[in-house]
Structure 1
Amino acid sequence: MIAVNCKFYLKTSILLFICLFQLNKIEAKSVPEEELKHTLALSNRFPDSAFIQLKKCYHQALADNNKKIIGICLQQMGKICYAQGHYAQSLEYHQQADKIFKQLNEQDLLADNLNDMGVVYYQNFNKKSSRKQYDQALRLYKITNNNIGLGETYGHLGHLYEKERRYDSAFYYQRHALKEYQKAGYKQGEAKIYENLGSIHEDLVRYDSAKYYFDESLKLYKAVNNEVSSIEVINNLGDIFRKTGDYKQALKYTRTALSLSIATKNEYQQASAYRDIAKSYNLTGQNDSAYYYMELSRKHVLHLYSDESNKQMSFLQIIYSIDKKNDEIAALENSKKVNLVISIAVVVVILLLIIMGALTISRQRLKLRENRAIAEKNQQLNLAQQQQLELKSRELTTHTLQVIQHNNFLDSLRTKLDEMIKEDKRDQKKQLQQLVRQLNQNINHDQQWKDFTQIFEQLHQSFFDSLKAHCEELTVNDIRLIALLKMNMSSKDMAVIFGISQDSLRVARYRLRKKLNIGQGDNLSTFIQTI
């Protein structure tokens, strides 16, 4: 039972944690959007503060990689720059937002941004590009069936044609805009279109129609509590009465607009109202009053321009400060990145050097071990060869000693037999002579010389080949004599081995000297040792 309860509590805790995590994610996503709504409202009165707030939101979105918020921030910064008269900067921000919305395939946001770009192009007197932006926005709004967006775009197109004095087209698009706003139930948009229609009729000197549309616009603006737009429409109505000769009614509406503009601290509308009052007084012949109000209008206009210039300067200073700060931050980050890259590169180089050093040391150690192994092997081979040579040398010496002993024995036996023959015992003479001949044959047996030659060649390789290079006319006995001389054997032992006297040995040595072309002062044994 306890185990079941533990499992239940564990599952409940996990589910609760997941829910809290999801809620945090939703709140994190909604916070930037709430901030953007606040900055949009703030931008009308305090554009510099709104711009700073947008920049902070923009950098936070960059850190969070929230592309949608990045795009919205760029779009709103473009709107603020446009309101401050910085059209080039405004267009740059809108173009950046355009790229992001295209990547995200946010069609409504993209269309809204295209409308803003169209307005900027229009203010730059690039009507062709402006129309292009509006057409693209119109296609997107039709896809998403966005009535408010369609109404706004149709309104822009109507305004564009109005300024070109193509009034039929202007009426066509303004009426389309009105239908779309009415479908959406968007009274603010309807009021704006009624105002636009009134302006077109005013341009066409259709003052009754103009008054009708201005009245409809004013009703809707009041319904949505839009005092700023209401002031402008009231001023327009005052213009209609003035143009139709009803100066009293014109002054009434213009003074109402003046009161509202003073209450809302709208200096632009104040200047406009003072100017319209001056016009009315001028038409009634009250030139002193006309001059007074025109002067008030001029003062407000000058103050307005001065104030606008100061605001623009302040705004430019803010943009400059923000850009400078961002550049410094970017430079610092780049410096950190460069330092990080350099540090990584240094570490990598050091590691590579350590690895290369270790490999070099390892190779050197391996090479030393190999050289040591080769040296030891060569030493063992040399030792084995030396031992083998010593063994062969001992065998040759032993063999030679055996031959000498054997020949000594046979020589002594031959001497005794010669003595027995000299005793002149006739019955033994023939047999003894035969025995002596056999002994003579055994003294210089060829097999013993073959064994000797084989051992000698193992000790002195290629000796006989080098010897023949000096003289090719050497006999077998000459070669045997040279081999014994190479062994540094005494003349006595050589005479015993050959079975001849030492005098005969001297003769053999003399003949050998002549064959080898050895000079009279040169030693035969020394010459043979050098071969």
Structure 2
Amino acid sequence: MICLLLSCGYIETYGQIRENVYPLDRSSPDSVYVRLNRQLAQATQRGDLSGQADKQQQLGLLLYHQGNYASGIRHLLQAQNILRRTDQADRLAENLNQLGTVYYYNRQPRLARRQFDEAEDIYQRTQNWLGLAQTYGNIGHLYEKEGDLPTALHYQHRALAQHRGTRQPASLAVIYENLGSIYEDQARYDSARFYYQSALRLLPSADRSGQIGLINNLGDIYRKTGQYTPALQQYRQSVRQARQLNDKYQLNGAYRDMGKTFQLLAQHDSAYHYFEASHDLTDTLYAIETNRQIALMQTLHDVERKDNQIAQLHDRERLNVLITGGTIAGLLLTGGLALVIISRQRLKIRTEAARSQQATQIYQTQRDLMEAELTNKQLSEENLRYQLQLKGQQLTSHTLHLIQKNQVLDDLRADLNTLLSDDKRDQRRQLKQVVQKIGQSFSHDKNWDDFRATFDQVHPRFMADLLRQHPDLTSAELRLAALLRMNMTSADTATLLGISADSLRVSRYRLRKKLELGEGESLSAFVQRFGS
């Protein structure tokens, strides 16, 4: 259920698909969720449909920004139903743009486009040019992410034409940045730089995070055109402003881009430093987002449990009323019959009434127990799915870190080997010792222990099953088998093991012999059978 924006490889930047976001405190989504639910209940009690739509919309956006797309879609659809009944055209179009955005990030582009098209029709009818411009921008961004850059450019220019008459510099800055992004994808860097600079001039001073993103984009343009010194100046400016704002997301991006630039300059020490700083920030942001979403999950669970308890209480109250009414009616009937029936018949009636009441109580008790058992089972399954997903994310993070670190070390080793070709004997001896140390670090990295621990949690039976059938496998062969189980590419596998592509082929051949595979039988497919 949890898919962190950071851990899923996505950090939202100024210029991507946007919606009119309400001023929500995203640092504590659990408390915001409780407050919005309380306000929704109050609006429902008052019969305030507009207020209900507003709170449903805010709940949907809150859950969307926490990666809970299914719940976010559900709340936005409930808001949409209210807005259709109350005939609020512009608010309905705004909701459609928001819903289309969530559908897009939920990998449902067709549903997203359907929402944007309806929003466009409504804004055309109400002559809301600003809303129409935002809708064109959303459609253009959708085509950009689908790889259709000419169509994306067409819609962004339509958005620009609508924006110029609205006198909304912040919204116009969004379109300028979208245009810059498309031109950058097309490698038309002069045009991209022009629109990024135009967006930066229009952006309000209050949107400091958006300014940092644009400055970083300008650095990317300089880097891609080989102007590394101006690129580093832009990135350093992003770092300074991100530190002042304590914006770890923008700081992480600036560190990563600085590492790329230093790598292009062959300044590998600096490249390694900034890649490590970016990795540390990624871990920090991952932990922060995980804690926030765990707190939100607990709040969702508590609210759902309380709602169930309230519903059960209401059911019991209705049942008690029915039982009381039935009992009174039975007593009145018994009293009337007592005038004409002998005492033995009256006693029989009372006994049957008592048995009926007891059976009803037993039935209700059994029903409550079954409902409680079903709820516990659902919560247990949800928790297991969440734990598995979390471990999978941790395994991916460890693996990517090892790839990045080994790639940097491999570049350093290649450079040092080049220097070894020199005839300076003292220098050659010292550099040879450095190369040996780097080579040793490939096999003695403590991160392999972390990788093994996380891998065993995601695939708990894999190693045991493999060793049970092939107990003579070495630790290096087990490591290669684990990477094959994860469907790693040959290039990434060689980088992680610190060996060349030819050495990897030899290792695979030896592993095939140990596993006694016949000709034509796939090694990767064979390994996938274990631990399933």
Q: So what's the TM-score if we normalise by structure 2? A: 0.57
1:64 shift after superposition = 1.2
Aligned to 1:259: 240
Find the aligned partners of 1:305 and 1:327 in 2 and give their Cα distance.
Answer: 33
- Compute the displacement of 1:48 (Å): 2.2
- Equivalent residues in 2 for 1:171-320 (5 A)? 171-221=153-203, 223-320=204-301
Q: What residue is the counterpart of 1:111 in the other structure?
A: 93
Whether the 8 Å CA contact 2:24–2:62 is kept in 1: the answer is: no
- Partners of 1:187 and 1:224 within 8 A in 2: no
CA contact (8 A) 2:137 2:155 kept: yes
- Deviations along 1:165-221, whole A, 9 cap, x unmatched? 222211121122223333222222111111100000000111111011001111111
- C-alpha displacement of 1:346: 4.2
Q: For 1:80-91, what aligned pairs fall within 5 Å after superposition? A: 80-91=62-73
* Higher mean displacement: 247-256 or 193-202: 247-256
Distance between the aligned counterparts of 2:320 and 2:141, measured in 1? 56
- Aligned to 1:183, the other structure's residue is in SS state coil
- Give matches, 1:444-463, under 5 Å: none
Note if 1:53 corresponds to 2:40.
no
Letter in 2 for 1:61: A
* Aligned pairs for 1:360-371 within 5 A: none
Q: Does 1:62 align with 2:77?
A: no
Deviation (angstroms), 1:345: 4.5
Q: Which amino acid aligns with 1:325?
A: K
Assess, with a 3 A threshold, how the Cα gap between structure 1 residues 289 and 70 changes in structure 2: closer, same or farther: same
Q: Which amino acid aligns with 1:82?
A: Y
Code of the residue aligned with 1:234 in structure 2: it is I
CA 1:237–1:332: 2 relative to 1, 3 Å: same
SS of residue paired to 1:41: coil
CA RMSD of aligned residues (A): 2.2
1:100 maps to amino acid: I
Which of the residues 122, 134, 150 maps onto 1:140?
A: 122
Tell me if the contact between 1:82 and 1:90 (Cα under 8 Å) persists in the aligned partners. Answer: yes
Q: Which amino acid aligns with 2:102?
A: V
Partner of 1:448: none
For residues 351 and 298 of structure 1, do their structure 2 counterparts lie closer, same or farther at Cα, with a shift above 3 Å needed? same
Cα offsets for 1:48-67 (capped at 9, x unmatched): 22211111101111111212
Tell me which amino acid in the other structure corresponds to 1:88. A
Greater RCO, CA 8 A, separation 6+: 2
Are residues 278 and 329 of structure 1, via their aligned partners in 2, closer, same or farther at CA, if it must alter by over 3 Å? same
Write the letter of the residue equivalent to 1:272: G
Q: How many residue pairs are counted as aligned between the two chains?
A: 321
Shift of 1:147: 2.2
What displacement does 1:96 show?
A: 1.5
> Distance between the aligned counterparts of 1:185 and 1:98, measured in 2?
29
Which residue number corresponds to residue 73 of structure 1? 55
Q: Which residue type is aligned with residue 253 of structure 1? A: Q
**Does the 8 Å CA contact 2:28/2:292 hold for their aligned counterparts?**
no
Q: Which moved more, 1:175-184 or 1:243-252?
A: 175-184
The Cα of 1:224 is off from its aligned counterpart by 4.9
Specify the structure having the higher radius of gyration (Cα).
1
Higher helix share goes to which structure?
A: 1
Task: State the AA in 2 paired with 1:336.
Answer: E
What runs of 5+ residues in structure 2 fail to find an aligned partner?
1-20, 342-532
Choose the corresponding residue for 2:303, options 308, 311, 322: 322
Any conservation in 2 of the 1:40–1:50 contact (CA below 8 Å)? no
Letter in 1 for 2:241: L
Report the equivalent of 2:447.
Answer: none
- Whether the 8 Å contact between 1:51 and 1:77 is mirrored in structure 2 is yes
Tell me, in whole angstroms, the C-alpha distance in 2 between the residues paired with 1:67 and 1:353: 50
User: Cα distance, 1:352 vs. partner?
Assistant: 6.7
CA contact (8 A) 1:43 1:80 kept: no
Deviation at 1:308, TM superposition (A): 1.3
Structure 1 Cα separation of the partners of residues 121 and 162 of structure 2: 14
Q: Structure 1's 263 and 335: CA in aligned 2 closer, same or farther, altered over 3 A? A: farther
- Structure 1 residues 185 and 44, CA gap change in structure 2 (3 angstroms): farther
Residue 394 (structure 1) aligns with: none
Q: Is the 8 A contact 1:188 1:224 kept in 2?
A: no
Asked whether the 8 Å contact 1:121–1:129 carries over to 2, the reply is: yes
Q: Give the AA of the match of 1:127.
A: P
Q: Match of 2:67, SS?
A: coil
SS at match of 2:147: coil
Q: Is the 8 A contact 2:173 2:200 kept in 1?
A: yes
- Equivalent residues in 2 for 1:273-422, closer than 5 Å: 273-347=254-328
**CA distances 1:21-60 after superposition (whole Å, capped 9, x unpaired):** xxxxxxxxxxxxxxxxxx9323343322221111110111
Unpaired runs of 5+ residues, structure 1, are 1-38, 361-531
The Cα offsets for residues 492-520 of structure 1, whole Å up to 9 and x where unpaired, read as xxxxxxxxxxxxxxxxxxxxxxxxxxxxx
The 3 A distance-change label for structure 1 pair 236 and 333 is same
CA separation of 1:300 and 1:144: change in aligned 2, threshold 3 A: same
What amino acid does structure 1 have at the position aligned with 2:127?
A: N
Residue 331 (structure 1) shift: 2.0
Change (3 A) 1:256 1:103: same
Q: Distance in 2 between matches of 1:66 and 1:121?
A: 28
Cross-structure match for 2:387: none
